C-alpha cells in the first residue's frame, strides 16, 4: 500500500484500477504468507532448521525456473555454481559443527558474540 501512495505522490499514472486489488493480493500472498510461515516454522521446528530450509529456497527457485520457465544456464551461472559448491565442500564440517552447537544450546540465551566465538 505504501508503494501505491508513493507512486501517486510522484505522479505515476494508474493504468487500470482493476490491477490495484490484484497487486495487493499478490503482495499479501507473496510477502505476508511467507513471513507468517517463516515465524510458524521458527516455533515448530526451531531456528536452525528453519534457517537451513529458508537458505535452500533460492536453489529451489533456480531449479523451478529451469523446469517451468525453460531457462537455460549461462556461463555466469556455471561459474557461480562452481564457487558455491567449492565453498560448501570446504566449509561443510564447520557449518555442521556450528549448527550442532546451536541445536544443543537452544534453551540458552545465545548471542551473536557467543556464535562468533565458536565460528
For 9, the domain range is 1-45
Provide the 8-state DSSP code for 13. P
* Residue range 81-114, pLDDT digits in tens: 899 888 878 887 877 787 777 777 766 666 666 6
Residues 99 and 52: beta-carbon distance below 8 Å: yes
Span 58-84, average pLDDT: 89
In a domain, 57, yes or no: no
Establish if 32 belongs to a structural domain: yes
Nearest partner of 80 among 54, 106, 56, 62, judged by Cα? 62
Identify whether 8 is part of a domain: yes
Give domain status of residue 53, yes or no: no
pTM reported for the whole predicted model: 0.48
Sign for the pseudo-dihedral over CA of 60, 54, 95, 44: negative
Is 89 part of a structural domain of the chain? no
Residue 38 domain-assigned (yes or no): yes
| Straight-line distance from the first to the last Cα atom of the chain, in angstroms, rounded to the nearest whole number | 41
- Once rounded to an integer, what is the mean pLDDT over residues 65-80? 90
Average pLDDT over residues 64-70: 92
Question: Is residue 16 in some structural domain?
Answer: yes
Q: How many domains does the chain have?
A: 1
Residue 78 located in a structural domain:
no
Predicted confidence (pLDDT) per residue in 1-52, tens digit: 788 788 889 988 877 888 888 888 998 888 888 889 989 988 888 887 888 8
Amino acid at each position: 500500500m505504501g508503494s501505491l501512495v508513493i507512486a501517486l505522490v510522484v505522479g505515476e499514472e494508474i493504468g487500470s484500477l482493476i490491477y490495484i486489488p490484484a497487486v495487493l493480493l499478490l503482495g499479501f500472498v507473496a510477502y505476508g504468507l511467507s513471513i507468517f510461515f517463516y515465524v510458524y516454522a521458527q516455533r515448530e521446528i526451531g531456528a536452525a532448521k528453519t534457517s537451513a530450509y529458508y537458505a535452500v529456497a533460492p536453489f529451489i527457485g533456480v531449479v523451478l525456473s529451469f523446469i517451468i520457465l525453460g531457462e537455460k544456464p549461462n556461463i555466469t551461472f556455471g561459474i557461480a555454481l562452481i564457487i558455491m559448491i567449492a565453498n560448501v565442500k570446504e566449509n561443510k564440517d564447520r557449518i555442521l559443527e556450528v549448527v550442532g552447537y546451536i541445536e544443543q544450546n537452544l534453551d540458552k540465551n545465545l548471542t551473536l558474540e557467543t556464535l562468533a566465538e565458536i565460528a
